[in-house]
């Protein structure tokens, strides 16, 4: 195997420069994303009306879920790009949280669409589980469901008890833990099935609310808002589904451009995994009028506080 000392000096410097550029692109973008999410969560925690509304509670859970997903995804990216190896027993929790939160996002989107459907069609007879004081039950069920998939995927792999791999240093990648074909088949089946079910739910709720808009003469504004919200959830789902285009885009890029595999992998990770995760909660958050108004007040108050403290 070729050692790092055997590489030409230009190749080593170019690789170092590439790593620095990647880190300088990903880390500041993550910091901006994390700052926006912290501001939104602070607004939710500071104003009671958001905690008394099921829609905002579900949105807050999506913010927390996507923040965890991006945080662990960026952490794994930095560890891999720095070629840091550590025990498999520490690698599995990182991959577990990253996979579970990735799977949980479409479930939350479908639940948010169903919440809008219930709010429109059952405004006075809303089921107890959809009330703000019970919505945590649905959120807990979604988390349990999304956590079962990575555990099942790992369990169906072939394990060798005679070999102690728990403390073996590895490069923390999904292919290291889930390297068997049956695991890849299970992961593909789960992703296709879950995203298909979520897409059907979003399309169903959108069409029903759209048809209800044509019938209702009163309170048409709220129904139109619900229609646009469900349509936005569909757009968010499309952003999430960009992650499944990786094999296609990798093939096209390899055919069209003569780039190293690590550069292609970073391009796919940044464009089809990281950017959609950054955009999805921010688009929904800044679109909401109430939340946007409080965000504006928060940023207006910050300079005043700085001036007062000065």
**Higher pLDDT among residues 6 and 29, named by residue:** 29
Task: Report how far residue 303's alpha carbon sits from residue 294's, in angstroms, rounded to the nearest whole number.
Answer: 15
> At residue 199, does pLDDT exceed 50?
yes
Q: Helix or strand or coil: residue 119?
A: helix
Q: Is 161 inside any structural domain?
A: yes
Residue 104's pLDDT is 92
Residue 280's pLDDT is 77
> At residue 254, does pLDDT exceed 60?
no
For residue range 67-87, what is the model confidence (pLDDT) as tens digits? Answer: 999 999 999 988 888 888 888
Residue 217's pLDDT is 55
User: What's the whole-number mean pLDDT along residues 39-61?
Assistant: 89
Number of structural domains the chain divides into: 1
Residue 159's pLDDT is 57
Q: Is 304 inside any structural domain?
A: no
For residue range 117-130, what is the model confidence (pLDDT) as tens digits? Answer: 888 888 778 888 89
Residue 233's pLDDT is 76
96-105, 192-201, 209-218: lowest mean pLDDT where? 209-218
Residue 143's pLDDT is 95
> At residue 205, does pLDDT exceed 70?
yes
Burial state string for 193-203 with b = 16 or more CB within 10 A and e = fewer than 16: ebbeebbebbe
Q: Is 74 inside any structural domain?
A: yes
**Higher pLDDT among residues 265 and 41, named by residue:** 41
Domain CATH for 135: 1.20.1070.10
Q: Dihedral angle at the C-alpha atoms of 199, 203, 209, 211, nearest 10 degrees?
A: -170
- Mean predicted lDDT score pLDDT of the chain: 79
Token pair listed for 148: 């079962």
**Higher pLDDT among residues 189 and 1, named by residue:** 189
**Higher pLDDT among residues 161 and 172, named by residue:** 172
Residue 306's pLDDT is 39
Band of pLDDT at residue 135, cut at 50, 70 and 90: very high
Q: Is 191 inside any structural domain?
A: yes
45-49, 213-217, 232-236, 278-282: lowest mean pLDDT where? 213-217
> Tokens 């791999």 — which residue?
165
Task: Report how far residue 267's alpha carbon sits from residue 18's, in angstroms, rounded to the nearest whole number.
Answer: 12
> At residue 189, does pLDDT exceed 70?
yes
Residue 307's pLDDT is 45
Task: Report how far residue 189's alpha carbon sits from residue 187's, in angstroms, rounded to the nearest whole number.
Answer: 6
Q: Is 90 inside any structural domain?
A: yes
Q: Is 6 inside any structural domain?
A: no
Token pair listed for 85: 């190896």
CA-wise closest residue to 75 among 93, 58, 63, 49: 93
Q: Is 194 inside any structural domain?
A: yes
Which residue range is the domain that position 249 belongs to?
18-292
> At residue 96, does pLDDT exceed 70?
yes
Q: Is 59 inside any structural domain?
A: yes
**Higher pLDDT among residues 156 and 305, named by residue:** 156
């Amino acid at each position: 195997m070729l050692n790092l000392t055997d590489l030409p000096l230009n190749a080593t410097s170019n690789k170092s420069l590439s790593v620095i550029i990647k880190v300088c692109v990903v880390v500041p973008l993550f910091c901006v994303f994390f700052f926006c999410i912290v501001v939104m969560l602070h607004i939710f925690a500071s104003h009671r009306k958001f905690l008394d509304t099921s829609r905002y509670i579900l949105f807050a859970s999506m913010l927390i879920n996507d923040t965890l997903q991006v945080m662990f995804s960026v952490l794994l990216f930095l560890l891999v790009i720095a070629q840091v190896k550590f025990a498999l027993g520490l690698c599995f929790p990182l991959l577990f949280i990253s996979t579970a939160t990735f799977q949980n996002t479409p479930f939350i989107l479908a639940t948010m669409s169903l919440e809008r459907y219930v709010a429109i069609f059952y405004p006075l007879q809303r089921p107890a589980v959809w009330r703000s004081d019970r919505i945590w039950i649905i959120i807990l069920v979604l988390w349990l469901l999304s956590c079962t998939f990575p555990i099942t995927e790992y369990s169906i792999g072939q394990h060798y008890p005679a070999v102690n791999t728990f403390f073996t240093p590895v490069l923390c990648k999904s292919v290291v833990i889930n390297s068997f074909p049956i695991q890849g088949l299970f992961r593909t089946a789960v992703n296709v099935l879950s995203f298909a079910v979520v897409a059907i739910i979003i399309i169903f709720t959108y069409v029903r609310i759209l048809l209800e808009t044509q019938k209702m003469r009163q309170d048409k504004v709220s129904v139109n808002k619900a229609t646009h919200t469900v349509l936005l959830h569909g757009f968010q789902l499309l952003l999430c589904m960009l992650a499944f285009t990786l094999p296609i885009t990798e093939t096209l890029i390899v055919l069209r451009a003569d780039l190293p595999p690590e550069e292609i992998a970073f391009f796919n990770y940044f464009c089809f995994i990281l950017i959609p995760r950054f955009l999805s909660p921010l688009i929904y958050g800044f679109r909401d009028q109430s939340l946007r108004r409080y965000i504006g007040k928060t940023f207006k108050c910050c300079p005043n506080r700085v001036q007062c403290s000065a």
